Amino acid sequence: MSGKRSPGDVARRRDSRDKRTRVLAVVQDLLARGKPVSFASVAKAAGVSNWLVYAEGVREHIEGARARQAAQPPQSGTGRPVGMASLRTDLEMARHEIASLRQERDTLKDLVRRNLGQQLDQVGTGELVARVNELTGQLNELKAEKDLWMREKNDLQEKLAEAVEDLAGARISLRQMVRAASTGSGTTL
């Protein structure tokens, strides 16, 4: 390869060096302000591509900054380290608040459940009463119809019994007439 560099190569190298310098400055700034260092936040703050922050020579600086942050104790809003007693107190307060919120949630769920039940009862009761009344009216109509049909059936049974008696009497008369005609003792019509 020749030792000559084109103006484009020089510009690209300068641009790359400037971007890397910006990335390292952003990492130092985030560390100084106590802000979390991540590859995405560094790339965004420096105005560079995600590829560059993972490139060799840059990645190591970001990983080192993340390791330093992980090793430091949590900081309070004043920039001083937070003590274990303070963390325990915060944890206990959070637990009490969570328990209180759970109880409130359960109370609200129960209240909503009862209100919905009452609404369903009110809507359902009116409709059920109307349906029961409708069915009762239909039942009364059917009973009246049944009674009418039973009377009609009884009338027809009585007429049938009379017709059967009349038929039996007619058969007896017819037999007598046939016997009389066959013996010759009967009169001619």
Q: How many CB atoms lie within 10 A of CB 53?
A: 24
pTM above 0.95, yes or no: no
Could you tell me if 20 and 54 are in contact, meaning their C-beta atoms sit under 8 angstroms apart?
no
Q: How many CB atoms lie within 10 A of CB 23?
A: 24
Question: Residue 75 phi/psi, 5° resolution?
Answer: -105, 145
Segment 123-139, tens digit of pLDDT:
667 777 888 899 999 99
pLDDT at 2 over 60: no
Tokens representing 104 are: 């409130």
Q: What does the pLDDT read at residue 78?
A: 57
Could you tell me if 23 and 58 are in contact, meaning their C-beta atoms sit under 8 angstroms apart?
yes
Question: Average pLDDT for residues 107-134, to the nearest whole number?
Answer: 84
Rounded to the nearest integer, the mean pLDDT of the chain is: 87
Segment 7-36, tens digit of pLDDT:
888 888 898 899 999 999 999 999 888 888
What's the CA gap between 49 and 60, in Å, rounded? 16
| Burial (CB count <10 Å: 0-12, 13-18, 19+), residue 29 | middle
Question: Helices in the chain by DSSP H: which ranges?
Answer: 7-33, 39-46, 50-54, 59-71, 84-183
Looking at the DSSP bridge assignments, the partners of residue 75 are: 81
Longest distance between any two alpha carbons in the chain, whole Å: 162
Looking at the DSSP bridge assignments, the partners of residue 81 are: 75
Q: What does the pLDDT read at residue 117?
A: 83
pLDDT at 186 over 80: no
What's the CA gap between 34 and 19, in Å, rounded? 23
Q: What does the pLDDT read at residue 20?
A: 92
Segment 48-98, tens digit of pLDDT:
998 999 989 899 999 999 998 888 766 555 555 667 888 888 899 999 999
Contacts of 87 (CB under 8 A, 6+ apart): 74
Could you tell me if 74 and 36 are in contact, meaning their C-beta atoms sit under 8 angstroms apart?
no
- Position of tokens 């046939």? 178
